[in-house]
């Protein structure tokens, strides 16, 4: 069944435009509350956790969701600004039926969205999202006054999450002697990541830690790393770490100011686990993962499989194969041996542990993987696109595939969070890859209007 509101990572869009409006959020809180209360079963008690990033519209949507949930008879616990994975953690530790994150991740402040977590700290199953959408079609009603939900603000959430992050590395693990530049994107990690790193002994140089509601992801964070790279060079830091607005993604900068993406971070973590005898048989990536990652892992004797783009699909395939490591090029990395969802801070600690254990610098540690040249162009479209509805795309893609042969690959996919079709080509010749990608993107624009 096609979902009306839910994309690959919740519901997202421009604030003030449907469905990212206060009235919709009120109804969404009520509809999801009814579904979660049913799932709670005979216990007669249902609690939902709400966290948010630092964008100004979060206050408005937090209040609307809260009102809808309590109208459905659900208790609410408010965390305030917290990273997305912290909400997943708190959902489990508070025995809540679900967690809700108000965030548009790496998008600008004028966007916002909603992500949900199940009672086990994972993304909602498709059937639960369908059930919520069914409830959204009904008329909002309020439970009796005696059954209205209560609201509690959790005051120790940040401290608890900091301690949890530190617990994901060995007890005597230390970052003493390391100088780390860290960029929190003026987002949800601003009061968490610097504390985690400094409490583990690092000399921390922080930027992007002064959110004002409007500056989230603006010239900072994992989507704009030029300032961080410059900071690493200026301060002669050992590494730079960049998180996105809601803290579920991480990218690194090595000591030379070179960006290290999610594929390379996966390789570093996988190789370290293999060296310590803790590795599974393989790693899960996505359709966007660089061919160099696949070949580097195979050289290490590890299998590699590709999921659809989206962390929920990565996690599903990890569970199918019984593997505990997977992720995306964007830096959304799932280390399920220590956490339930993509966690930027936890993933960064796994990389730092590999760095410490290897005795190498980060530039050397990444050198075992050679990335294939890859070009991606985003083609903006007017709304949600189903590629199968446009048969003319097939011959255009096939022509490029024939030219590349076994030297590369082509991928077309609609974004699950934005009105875009992503055109990606990968191969062994950078100039050819760029030329073919531009030509194919032009054809996609023509065909999709």
Active site residues: 105
Query: Which residues 6+ apart lie within 8 Å of 379 measured at CB?
Result: 420, 421, 422, 423, 441, 444, 445, 448
Contact 315, 397 (CB under 8 A): no
- From the list 277, 276, 252, the residue with the least C-alpha distance to 266 is 252
Q: How far does CA 403 lie from the centroid of its chain?
A: 34
Which residues, in sequence order, are CB contacts of 9 under 8 Å at separation 6+?
Answer: 105, 113, 115, 123, 310, 311, 312, 416, 417
List strands edge to edge, sheet with 303-307: 303-307, 282-286, 325-327, 333-335
Could you tell me which of 30, 17, 113 has the C-alpha nearest to residue 67?
30
Alpha carbon of 297 to those of 259, 271, 279, 309: distances in Å?
20, 8, 12, 20
């Amino acid at each position: 069944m096609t979902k009306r509101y839910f994309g690959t990572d919740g519901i997202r869009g421009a604030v003030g435009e449907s469905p990212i409006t206060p009235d919709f959020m009120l109804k969404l809180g009520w509809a999801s509350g009814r579904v979660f209360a049913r799932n709670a079963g005979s216990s007669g008690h249902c609690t939902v956790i709400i966290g948010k990033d630092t964008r100004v519209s979060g206050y408005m949507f937090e209040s609307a969701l809260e009102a809808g949930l309590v109208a459905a008879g659900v208790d609410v616990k408010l965390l305030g600004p917290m990273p997305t994975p912290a909400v997943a953690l708190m959902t489990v530790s508070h025995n809540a039926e679900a967690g809700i994150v108000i965030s548009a991740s790496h998008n600008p402040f004028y966007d916002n969205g909603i992500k949900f977590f199940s009672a086990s700290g994972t993304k909602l199953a498709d059937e639960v999202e369908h059930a919520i959408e069914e409830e959204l079609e009904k008329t909002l009603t309020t439970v009796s006054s005696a059954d209205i939900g209560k609201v509690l603000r959790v005051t120790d959430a940040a401290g608890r999450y900091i301690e949890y992050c530190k617990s994901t590395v060995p007890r005597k693990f230390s970052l003493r002697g390391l100088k780390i530049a860290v960029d929190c994107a003026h987002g949800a990690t601003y009061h968490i990541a610097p504390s985690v790193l400094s409490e583990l002994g690092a000399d921390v140089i922080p930027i992007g830690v002064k959110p004002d509601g409007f500056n989230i992801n603006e010239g900072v964070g994992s989507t704009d790393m030029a300032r961080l790279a410059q900071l690493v060079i200026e301060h002669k830091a050992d590494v730079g770490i960049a998180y996105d607005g809601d803290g579920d993604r991480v990218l690194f900068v090595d000591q030379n100011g070179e960006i290290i993406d999610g594929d390379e971070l996966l390789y570093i973590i996988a190789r370290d686990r293999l060296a310590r005898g803790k590795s599974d048989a393989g790693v899960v990536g996505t359709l966007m993962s660089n061919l160099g990652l696949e070949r580097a892992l195979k050289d290490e004797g590890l299998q590699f499989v590709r999921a659809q783009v989206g962390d929920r699909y990565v996690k599903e395939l990890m569970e199918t194969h019984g593997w505990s490591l997977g992720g995306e090029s964007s830096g959304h990395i799932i280390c399920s041996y220590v956490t339930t969802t993509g966690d930027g801070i936890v993933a960064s600690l796994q990389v730092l542990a590999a760095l410490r254990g290897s005795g190498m610098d980060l530039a050397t540690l990444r050198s075992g993987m050679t990335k294939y040249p890859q070009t991606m162009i985003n083609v903006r479209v007017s709304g949600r696109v189903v590629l199968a509805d446009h048969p003319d795309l097939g011959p255009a893609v096939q022509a490029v595939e024939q030219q590349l042969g076994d030297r590369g690959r082509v991928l077309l996919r609609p974004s699950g969070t934005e009105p875009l079709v992503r055109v990606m080509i990968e191969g062994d010749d950078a100039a050819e890859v760029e030329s073919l990608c531009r030509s194919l993107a032009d054809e996609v624009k023509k065909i999709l209007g």
